[in-house]
Amino acid sequence: MQPSPSARAPLAGVRVTEIASFVAAPAAGALLADLGAEVIKVEVEGGETLRHSRPKLLGWKSDFGEAPQFHMDNRGKRSLVLDLRRDEARGALQRVIDGSDVVLTNMLPGRLAKYGLDAESLRAQRPELIVAGLTGYGREGDEADTPSFDYAAYWARTGLMDLMREPDAPPAWLRPGVGDHAAALALSTGILSALRMRDAGAGGQVVDVNLLHVGFYVQGNDAAPTLTTGDGPVPHDRRRPRNPLWNHYPTADERWLFLVMIESDRYWPALCTALGREELRTDERFHDARARYRQSAELSEILSACFQDRTLAEWEAHLAGHPLIWAPVRTLAEAIRDPQAATNGVFAELEHPRAGPFGTVTAPLRLSAHPTPGTALAPELGADGEAILREAGLSEEEIQSALGAR
């Protein structure tokens, strides 16, 4: 079913003032904009760092005139540049907030209080206001004002970094924005819930999300048993897996293929057939899941030898006709060309007036009655400043003063 372009957007009429940089909070703002909210992005003079993070600066071999990831997490917003060290700028921002439904920020609590932007101060003036904040370690406790990125709070601090490795390998590296985008989903969920409660007459409230909590939630299937038993999970060892049918194996061209048959008894006969090793079905060493666990090192060697008989492409073609759960381990450059992803609207193309067309990742949800094409660009720095302040009721003189015009 195709969404109707004439349908009223879910967040039509909702205004969000976003005082944030980098990824998690801006990504939540982009999701709200996808759903029809008006999102005003407040930036520092010169623009935030991510706005200027072109691919070449981040290690890509080729370059591009824009920062594609900035456009993904700031699409469809309006831009207002204010120097919050100045009284006139803070006063102007307060006027903008007065006309907003939500304030979204990842500024540290101490800095928010310094500028009078903490939730307590804002909501004392307007109890119906929703204030959504993202921190590294939460709004309470000794580390409330400790700066952080998802690398630290979400990845290293929660044990994820240590778990994501083979026993003899160093801790795994996190790619940019992984924990931040998970946190963005939590933030947007909290904001949507708070808006619904406000519209039902419950007033505004504070939405509090932190990267540390998100990290534990994401690995909840390990964290919950660890909380119960006090013992940490055993790291995966592909040479001696608990379940050889849930393991990754090298192929003839030094690529990898990932088997994900968690219910191994169910899929064992089909795997033996797919590999042309029917004799393994009746081999007493591997007759059920427990036996395969006891003989996991031996069975993993057998399976590894099987998969090294063909290239990854050959296995893809062969296994496609068998009722198994598996996936090729693709590079990202290969993965973005996946026709299944394209068919389901995962990617979109933006048209930039200077840089030309480039691709982006759309919102990870689709509504049957509201299109979320993800094709809006991020705003030019400060492009909407005068209009936003004029809409907030500032005079022309006040506007020029707030913007620091000479």
Verify that 43 and 190 share a domain, yes or no.
Answer: yes
Among 108, 107, 102, 100, smallest CA distance to 132 is for 102
> Average of pLDDT values for 362-370?
96
Position 185 scores a pLDDT of 98
Verify that 125 and 206 share a domain, yes or no.
Answer: yes
Q: Give the C-alpha separation, 122 to 131, whole Å.
A: 8
In this structure, what DSSP letter does residue 135 have? E
Verify that 166 and 300 share a domain, yes or no.
Answer: no
Verify that 306 and 362 share a domain, yes or no.
Answer: no
Predicted confidence (pLDDT) at residue 4 exceeds the cutoff of 60: no
Domain boundary among 285, 304, 328: 328
Q: Give the C-alpha separation, 143 to 210, whole Å.
A: 12
pLDDT in tens, 16-71: 999 999 999 999 999 999 999 999 999 999 999 999 999 998 899 988 999 999 99
User: Which CATH number goes with the domain that contains 162?
Assistant: 3.40.50.10540
Residue 179 falls inside a structural domain: yes
Q: What is the largest CA-CA distance in the chain?
A: 87
Predicted confidence (pLDDT) at residue 5 exceeds the cutoff of 80: no
Residue 8 falls inside a structural domain: no
Q: In angstroms, how far is CA 300 from the centroid of its own chain?
A: 34
Among 266, 107, 101, 293, smallest CA distance to 197 is for 101
Token pair of 248 as six digits: 């990754």
pLDDT above 90 as % of the chain = 94
Residue 264 falls inside a structural domain: yes
Verify that 204 and 284 share a domain, yes or no.
Answer: no
Buried b (16+ CB within 10 A) or exposed e, 16-50: bbbbbbbbbbbbbbbbbbbbbbbbbbbbeeebbeb
> Average of pLDDT values for 187-192?
98
Q: Give the C-alpha separation, 73 to 29, whole Å.
A: 8
Residue 300 falls inside a structural domain: yes
pLDDT in tens, 196-243: 999 999 999 999 999 999 999 999 999 999 999 999 998 899 999 999
Position 89 scores a pLDDT of 98
Residue 119 falls inside a structural domain: yes
Verify that 284 and 312 share a domain, yes or no.
Answer: yes
Parent domain of 194: 15-218+339-402
Domain boundary among 303, 328, 353: 328
Verify that 372 and 353 share a domain, yes or no.
Answer: yes
Q: pLDDT band for 369, please (50, 70, 90 cuts).
A: very high
Verify that 49 and 140 share a domain, yes or no.
Answer: yes
pLDDT above 70 as % of the chain = 98
pLDDT in tens, 104-157: 999 999 999 999 999 999 999 999 999 999 999 999 999 999 999 999 999 999
pLDDT in tens, 263-293: 999 999 999 999 999 999 999 999 999 999 9
Predicted confidence (pLDDT) at residue 91 exceeds the cutoff of 60: yes
Among 110, 76, 112, smallest CA distance to 97 is for 112
Position 7 scores a pLDDT of 57
Residue 4 falls inside a structural domain: no
pLDDT in tens, 164-184: 999 889 999 999 999 999 999
One-letter amino acid for residue 166 of the chain: E
Domain count, the chain: 2
> Average of pLDDT values for 315-334?
97
The pTM score is 0.94
Token pair of 310 as six digits: 């063909």
With H, G, I as helix, E, B as strand and everything else as coil, classify residue 130.
strand
Position 63 scores a pLDDT of 87
Verify that 201 and 275 share a domain, yes or no.
Answer: no
Verify that 324 and 375 share a domain, yes or no.
Answer: no
